[in-house]
A and B are shown apart, each in its own frame.
Chain A
Amino acid sequence: MTMAQPLDVSRYRSERHIPWAPLSAEEIEARRLVQINAETVTHTAASDFPGHYGPEQDDSWVVERFRQGLKVDFHHNKPHDAAFSLVGIDASIANAFRRILIAEIPTLAIEDVFFLDNTSVIQDEVLAHRLGLIPLTGGREGLDWLHWFHRAPSKDAFTMQTASDGDETTPVSTHNDYNTIVMTLDIECRWATVEKDGWDGKKKAAEGDVAPEEKYIKSNVYASDLVFHPQGKQSEYFSGENAIRPVNPEILIAKLRPGHRIHLRCHCIKGVGSDHAKFSPVATASYRLLPQITITQPILGADAKKFARCFPRGVIGYEPDAATGEQKAVVKNPMKDTVSRECLRHDEFKGKVKLGRVRDHFIFSVESTGQFESDELFLDAVRLLRAKAERFKRHLTELEEGR
């Protein structure tokens, strides 16, 4: 990527006594940078808003210009892990997407656990909590069809009470096939016997075999032991490969010994991450700004080798220098940089390198927990923000019309 040397646009302009004039292409590129110095980070705030550079520079927001500046570029796109660059938007919007991904896109999770029996060593409340955190998946169509379950506001949750005060119209739901998924877990551990399993667990134990799987049957409870029971209309949406199931069937839920039994029934509902992290559709959704390394004076020979070692592998490459014939350090892939600023600690690179980050180049990383695919989740976040903006606009119109 070629980009002008970072400069302080406003100071540069006043020093040269440039009257109000539109910014040059070079200056427009330069103002995109956050400058990273040895001890400080400067120019963190965006300045591409009307009036900042005088009346001649047109920074008004125009759809067509935004459309031309916006760029989406996928680096990898796997169902459980997507990384892409989102270029040409403001940090507030990028951050809104990130926060919506984490806290506002609904998913299905276990909410209530009814224990009929639990003689294992793991306590009921701990086991219930563990079950809640298991990511579930199922047919997309069915998950979209599933309704919200509105629970009665808790008597001790002040925030929930105040939230419901203004909105008395939301009725408290009763569990039905539109809003609740039922799953059960019924498992009992026992000794392996010749009649049932073909080998004698007690004999193995006497012989000194200590592996629990050899001695006992069902000594490990896995997420795959959860059984989905479709209710009413649910069988239309969640049958066959669309059945509700844990994303990762090999999650270890509990360990049992002969005679231990867990028998429980779970109610799963749709919820959002702002209510509880178990409802968050992403393991993490984050972004970082694209690092920018500008070599202002050639770094040659042994210095170039040392310079390359200041960065992660692959960031700096070599090229033969035209003037001296020595190897010259060149920036190969700034995307891989961690912006450690190591190169700013060495005297030999003083004044030869400038570090920065591109303020409107967001490298997103979305890791889905598996209920939805990572790239779809981002689209859902965009849709949700759009819906919120439309709702806000509608309320503003109503306010204006005095309704």
Chain B
Amino acid sequence: MSREQYTPPTLQDRNAGPSSSSQQSQTQQTTSQPYTGGGFNLTAASLDALGDDSRPIHYLCGDCDARVTLKKGDAIRCKECGYRVLYKERTNRMIQFQAR
């Protein structure tokens, strides 16, 4: 797939996403085949449980390092010290790497 064709996954896509792998694992479990549940199923549901994906978004104050929670439309301002520079935290979405 080219760069232009790629569309980043949305929250809705991810909830509808775990189609093939999780269904497969369920059928496999019922026929006493290899166990594919738990740790292998890195699906949207299991990832949301692992990494907190809930809104609102957390930021870090550039001055006092306090954790600032902002919702859509909130003033960009630290609630502790009033500093106006906030740093965005690293994404809490899962990123996969090959150990190579």
Contact = CB atoms under 8 A, between A and B. Distances in A.
B39 A231 contact: yes
A176 B90 contact: no
A345 interface: no
A70 B70 CA distance: 77
Given A112-B96, A115-B96, A278-B99, 12 more contacts: A111-B99, A112-B98, A114-B94, A116-B51, A128-B99, A229-B38, A231-B39, A232-B34, A233-B35, A263-B50, A266-B99, A276-B100
B40 interface: yes
Interface in B13-49: 21, 24-25, 28, 33-40, 42, 47
Interface stretch (A50-58, A118-126, A190-198, A203-211): A118-126
Interface of A: 109-119, 124-125, 128-129, 131-133, 174-180, 182, 229, 231-233, 259, 263, 265-267, 276, 278
A265 to B, nearest CB: 7
B11 interface: no
Nearest to A113: B97
Contacts, number: 92
Contacts of A267: 40
Nearest to A131: B99
B95 interface: yes
B12 to A, nearest CB: 21
Contacts of B95: 114-115, 124
Nearest to B34: A176
A129 B34 contact: no
Contacts of B28: 176
A246 to B, nearest CB: 14
Given A175-B36, A175-B40, A233-B35, A113 B96 contact: yes
B51 A117 contact: yes
B10 to A, nearest CB: 19
Interface string B66-100: 00000000000000000000000110101111111
A117 B39 contact: no
A257 B52 CA distance: 22
A117 B92 contact: yes
A121 to B, nearest CB: 12
Residue among B89, B96, B100 with most chain A CB within 10 A? B100
Contacts of B37: 231-232
Contacts of A263: 50-51
A182 to B, nearest CB: 4
B72 to A, nearest CB: 23
Contacts of A265: 39, 42, 50
15 contacts: A112-B98, A113-B99, A115-B97, A116-B94, A119-B89, A132-B99, A176-B34, A180-B40, A182-B38, A182-B39, A231-B39, A232-B35, A259-B65, A276-B100, A278-B99
Given A114-B94, A174-B24, A182 B99 contact: no
Contact of A231 (B35, B51, B89): B35
A378 B53 CA distance: 50
* Candidate in B34, B47, B96 with the most chain A CB atoms within 10 angstroms: B34
A229 B99 contact: no
A156 to B, nearest CB: 13
A176 B36 contact: yes
Contacts of B40: 174-176, 180, 182, 231, 267
Contacts of B35: 176-177, 231-233
A342 to B, nearest CB: 44
A229 B89 CA distance: 29
A133 B31 CA distance: 36
Given A176-B34, A232-B34, A116 B50 contact: yes
Contacts of A113: 96-99
* Residue from A129, A177, A180, A278 whose CB has the most chain B CB atoms within 10 Å: A177
